[in-house]
């Protein structure tokens, strides 16, 4: 089963110059416009989707306060419950 088995059709407006470029690339690579557009969307989303662990890595490196100390200070603001 490929990732496109449960595909949904959609309609988008694409400028003529982009269509011509897609046709040139498709001719060279012997691939359809649809295949090129699917690949472009997949690559775009892969580049924009950062796993949460990677996004958080090094978050505190520029801070002067330790993360645990910061957490304890925040909890101290809650007072005794």
Tell me what the mean pLDDT of segment 56-78 comes to.
85
* Model pLDDT, residue 2: 59
* Model pLDDT, residue 1: 45
Tens of pLDDT, residues 45-60: 988 887 777 777 887 7
What number of other Cβ atoms are within 10 A of residue 21's Cβ?
A: 13
Residue of 48, 16, 22, 21 whose CA lies nearest to 35: 22
* Model pLDDT, residue 81: 60
- For 31, counting Cβ atoms within 10 Å of its Cβ (0-12 exposed, 13-18 middle, 19+ buried), the class is middle
Q: Which residue stretches of 1-81 are H helix?
A: 16-29, 33-48, 52-56, 67-76
């Amino acid at each position: 089963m490929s990732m496109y088995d449960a595909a949904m059709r959609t309609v988008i407006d694409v400028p003529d110059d982009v269509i011509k470029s897609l046709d040139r690339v498709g001719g060279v690579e012997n691939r359809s416009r649809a295949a090129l557009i699917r690949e472009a969307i997949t690559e775009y989303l892969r580049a924009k989707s950062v796993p949460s662990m990677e996004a958080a890595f090094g978050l505190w490196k520029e801070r002067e306060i330790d993360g645990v100390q910061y957490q304890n200070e925040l909890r101290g603001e809650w007072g005794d419950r």
